[in-house]
């Protein structure tokens, strides 16, 4: 069951001509939810892959030890390096 606010939104969308009826509004909403779920799953898979690569690199000794007082500068350098290719492409 829809709340009063949700019902008003559905009615507004139908009255605007964007949708022919409430079923179209709800189907579109479900499509958006499905798309959000796919994107979240893809992000999670990418994070898991990055974590596996990170642990593999650590196990192989491919890492840099950074002192606490240098961490902010180190992260800034990583950000600048990551942004460079984007700037040259854009």
CA-closest candidate to residue 18, choices 5, 9, 6, 7: 9
Give CA–CA dist 55/51, Å, rounded.
Answer: 6
Q: How confident is the model at residue 84 (pLDDT cuts 50, 70, 90)?
A: confident
CA–centroid distance for 62 within its chain: 28
Q: Where are the beta strands (DSSP E) in 3-89?
A: none
Rounded to the nearest integer, the mean pLDDT of the chain is: 94
Q: What pTM was computed for the model?
A: 0.65
* Cβ contact 19:13 at 8 Å: yes
């Amino acid at each position: 069951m829809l709340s009063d606010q949700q019902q008003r939104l559905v009615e507004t969308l139908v009255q605007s001509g964007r949708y022919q009826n409430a079923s179209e509004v709800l189907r579109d909403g479900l499509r958006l939810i499905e798309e959000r779920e796919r994107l979240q799953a893809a992000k999670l898979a990418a994070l898991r892959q990055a974590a596996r690569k990170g642990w593999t690199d650590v196990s192989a000794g491919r890492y840099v030890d950074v002192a606490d007082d240098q961490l902010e500068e180190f992260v800034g350098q990583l950000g600048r390096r990551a942004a460079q290719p984007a700037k040259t492409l854009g």
